[in-house]
Amino acid sequence: MRSFFIAIILLFSGISISAQTNSIDDSLNIRKIYDMSLLNGKSYAWLDHLSNEIGGRLSGSHGAEQAVEYTKAELENLGLDKVWLQPVMVPKWTRGEREFAYVQTAPGETRNLNITALGGSIATSAGGTKAKVIEVQGIEQLKEYGRENIEGKIVFYNRPMRADHIQTFEAYGGCVDQRYSGAEEAAKYGAVGVIVRSMNLRMDDLPHTGAMSYGDLPNDQRIPAAAVSTNDAQYLSGMLKIQNDLDLYFKMSCEIHEDVQSYNVIGEITGSKYPNEIMIVGGHLDSWDLGDGSHDDGAGVVQSMEVLRLLKETGYEPKRSIRVVLFMNEENGLRGGNKYAEVAKLKSEDHVFALESDAGGFTPRGFGITANDTQFKKILSWKRLFKPYLIHYFERGGGGADINPLKGGNMVLAGLRPDSQRYFDYHHAANDTFDKVNKRELELGAATMTSLIYLVDKYGLDNINNETVEMPD
């Protein structure tokens, strides 16, 4: 009996020693990943080229085509097992000449407004659109005013992002419907145009563009739609309180073209033990055309590329196949994400994990994670490994627009969560440029993503009792 208890003690001691050894090895490997990213990273140089040599990368544009060629070549230079282009048809929309707008404050007196066309909008007539303007606080208020007060007018949507939300994406989600569907809904009440307050938490003179949709509206019922800067939205609202019959004029020459072919860019390290289990990390290669798309989403693109480079440079050999996917057309169609999921389904590919970076290149805080209870518990068991890097946010609910079409079964989705307080200062605006990205913050994000990919690959997420890391107190 005594020998039996000794055997049990030795067995559990072995498990404890093994778990502690694993945790020490993982700590050292993660330290190596962060050192490599901060001391010898490539993400910032890649972003420099995307932003300053190529610039804006709106789907269907020459810039998008250049970005496909550049990132494919750079992935090939990394010596990955496979690099390929996945064809996808994408919408093409061009802005045309710079937009112009003014509000008439008195006979012969006007004040110019800073506006930008919303992506997908039709143009105004060649001579522009001029009409009385009516302010509403959201789509739901259109019904309150009714056709008799809206017909023949320009609807001015002026619901601001709520500054009391700590999570700024919640503030964005609370008012982005007026940008996306505002024109469709206002047209049903006879409006002749739409002006939308920019999705921006600070007061400035920069209008922020973004996708909009006409839904099922016939072409002859569609109306032009533009965003106005927060400063000018505030001015216009103030003037309407004094004089509610103001005339507003705006002119845009944007155009919707036939769809064109583009590509998702994909690179892979083939798994050594479970090659048919696929993990992906990615961001979207396209951007809006006002700035150079450094935060949205050049940062996510280069961080995702860096994940595979760091794994190779540190000598780690993945058990599972790890892909970087640079999606095309997230901004105004999600064609790339949908195409990738469609092809994966047709090929019966087994995707087990996907991580997306599409929230800017700011200081990483952690991850939003969509997983079942067992999977989430396992990820939480690694939390202490991230503590030295000030990564603390591990919350349920996460992923990204491009990886969400893969959702289903036991698939785990995750999204990098950087500090979001400055993100909407630049989002979809002309100041989303390379100089707004901090090199160190970008590199910390790449290392944080790589560390999670490393842990998920090493331990898997299918069984909480299978190789879970036990961290010593």
Kindly list the distances between the CA atom of residue 29 and the CA atoms of 306, 385, 450, in Å, as whole numbers in the listed order: 16, 10, 11
Kindly list the distances between the CA atom of residue 199 and the CA atoms of 39, 143, 242, 251, 394, in Å, as whole numbers in the listed order: 36, 23, 25, 21, 27
State the amino acid at position 304 in one-letter form: S
Helix extents (H) in 118-274: 140-145, 147-150, 168-173, 176-180, 182-187, 230-242
Pairing of strands 100-106, 115-117: unpaired
Q: Tell me which residue of 99, 103, 101 sits closest to 240, measured CA to CA.
A: 103
Helix extents (H) in 2-118: 2-40, 43-48, 62-77
The 3-state DSSP class for residue 76 equals helix
Distance CA 428, CA 430 (A): 7
> Among 306, 330, 356, 443, which one carries the catalytic annotation?
330
Pairing of strands 255-269, 82-94: antiparallel
Catalytic residue at 395? no
Catalytic center residues: 330
